[in-house]
Structure formats: C-alpha cells, structure tokens
C-alpha cells in the first residue's frame, strides 16, 4: 500500500521538468547577476571608472536593467511552475490532504530549488566573471596586466536577489496553498495567457527608440567633448 509521501514523490518525478525549469531560470538569473556584480565591484573597474562619470553611470544603469529583467524572468517562471502544479495540488486536496501538509511539502520543494540554483549560480557566476576578465585581457589592448580581484561587495547584489527570489516564491506558494476552491485550482492549468496582436507601429517605435538610445547615449557625449562642452544631465535619460 502506497503512502501519501510515495504518491507525492511519484507525481513530483512525473512533473520534474517543471521543477527543472524553475531551477534553471533562477540559476541563470543568479549566474548573470553574480558575474556582472563581481566584475563591476572589482578594484580595477572601481578605480578606472570615475565616480559620477558617464561610464560608471552607464554601467550602473545597464546593471539595474539586468536586475529588473532577471527579476521579471524569475517571477514569470514561478508563475508557470505554480500553474503546472495546480492539477497536482488539486488532486491532493480532492483526496482529503490537509493544506498544512501540502504547504510543508511545497515549501520544502521551493527551498531546495532556491538552495540548488543559488549555490550553482554563485559558484558558476564567479567562474564566469573570471572568464570574462580573461577575455577582456585578450581583446582590450593593455588590459592584460589588470589584476582580477574578488570583493565581498560583489556578492551583496546576488545575495539580495536570492533573498528577493526566496520571498517571492514563498509568498506565491502561500497564496497558492490558501486557495480553497478545488475546481479553481484544478482548472488553473487550463487557463491560457491572453495573446495580443503586435501592431506594425509598435515594432517601428521600438526600433527607433533603440537607435535613439544607443546613438544618443554613446555618441552625444563624444560630440560634447569634441566641442569642449560638458554633457548635459538629460543625456542620462537616453541610457
């Protein structure tokens, strides 16, 4: 006779691709943030890029956009995970499983996902940062002598992102478990996302904005420098 834990393990094994998907998405996000933050907070980069300069402002803005993008990426992946988990949880609830027990099992799974993806992301993100530094030393003339350094501040950003990911997953899991209508839980997996037609003007507008942003943020500072003028503050908006 199979126990509840055996049934849960079998269904989890059957749906392992959903667990792997969320783990992979979280791992990629932490990997990118870790490597970027380590390179950005290294002693060489901090000493070369002047405080308040255009280069450091551009680097900070790009890093901020990367964090926002990774956060949205992870939250979306968690939504797909819980949607795929709906039918499984609905079956347990229909069989009379207590929400307290389901909550404990779900949060254990989420904790393992966070731990595995975070550990792998931090480790491989550090190795990726070293690899990026080596590539810079090859393609940028005169940079081969720049020493690579690991600063503790470089890990503050990925650790903060891990904390955000953990809170987001556990809050979403808590909301998921608190649903009381079994039919809604089961039918959650059937819901399809609304697909909207992309208008032609939206594509054109996107291309124009990218060109204006790239040309304006990169070229205009050099134009003002050539004219022996200080770049105005509004150029930062183009970044």
Taking only the tens of pLDDT, the chain with its 239 residues reads 456 667 667 767 777 788 888 999 999 999 999 988 888 887 777 777 666 666 677 777 788 888 888 888 888 888 888 887 777 777 777 777 777 877 888 888 899 999 999 999 999 999 988 887 777 766 655 555 566 777 778 889 899 999 999 999 999 888 888 765 566 655 655 555 555 667 788 888 888 887 877 777 667 777 777 777 777 777 767 66
Q: Is 145 helix (H, G, I), strand (E, B) or coil?
A: coil
What pLDDT is attached to residue 189? Answer: 54
CA 68 to chain centre: 7
- Roughly how many angstroms between the first and final C-alpha of the chain, as a whole number? 63
Maximum Cα–Cα distance for the chain, whole Å? Answer: 83
The total of other beta-carbon atoms located within 10 Å of residue 80's CB is: 14
Sign of the alpha-carbon torsion through 226, 232, 233, 238: negative
Reading the block at residue 72, the tokens are 């949205």
Mark out the alpha helices in 49-98 (DSSP H runs). 54-94
What pLDDT is attached to residue 193? Answer: 54
What pLDDT is attached to residue 42? Answer: 79
Place of tokens 């790009």: 62
Q: Is 54 helix (H, G, I), strand (E, B) or coil?
A: helix
Global pTM?
0.72
For residue 148, count CB atoms less than 10 angstroms from its CB and return exposed for 0-12, middle for 13-18, buried for 19 or more: middle
Q: What number of residues does the chain have?
A: 239
């Amino acid at each position: 006779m199979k126990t509840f834990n055996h049934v849960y393990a079998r269904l989890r094994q059957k749906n392992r691709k959903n667990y792997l998907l969320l783990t992979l998405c979280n791992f990629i996000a932490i990997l990118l943030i870790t490597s970027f933050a380590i390179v950005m907070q290294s002693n060489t980069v901090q000493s070369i890029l002047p405080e308040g300069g255009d280069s450091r402002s551009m680097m900070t803005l790009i890093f901020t956009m990367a964090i926002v993008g990774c956060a949205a990426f992870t939250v979306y992946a968690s939504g797909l995970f819980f949607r795929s988990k709906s039918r499984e949880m609905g079956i347990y609830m229909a069989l009379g499983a207590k929400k307290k027990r389901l909550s404990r099992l779900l949060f254990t799974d989420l904790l393992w996902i966070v731990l595995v993806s975070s550990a792998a992301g931090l480790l491989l993100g550090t190795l990726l940062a070293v690899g990026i530094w080596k590539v810079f030393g090859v393609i940028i003339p005169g940079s081969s002598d720049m020493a690579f350094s690991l600063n503790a501040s470089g890990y503050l950003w990925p650790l903060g992102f891990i904390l955000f990911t953990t809170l987001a997953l556990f809050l979403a899991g808590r909301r998921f478990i608190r649903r009381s209508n079994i039919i809604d839980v089961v039918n959650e997996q059937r819901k399809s996302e609304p697909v909207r037609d992309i208008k032609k003007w939206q594509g054109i507008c996107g291309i124009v904005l990218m060109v204006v942003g790239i040309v304006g943020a990169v070229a205009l500072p050099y134009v003002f420098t050539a004219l022996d003028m200080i770049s105005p503050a509004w150029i930062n908006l183009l970044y």
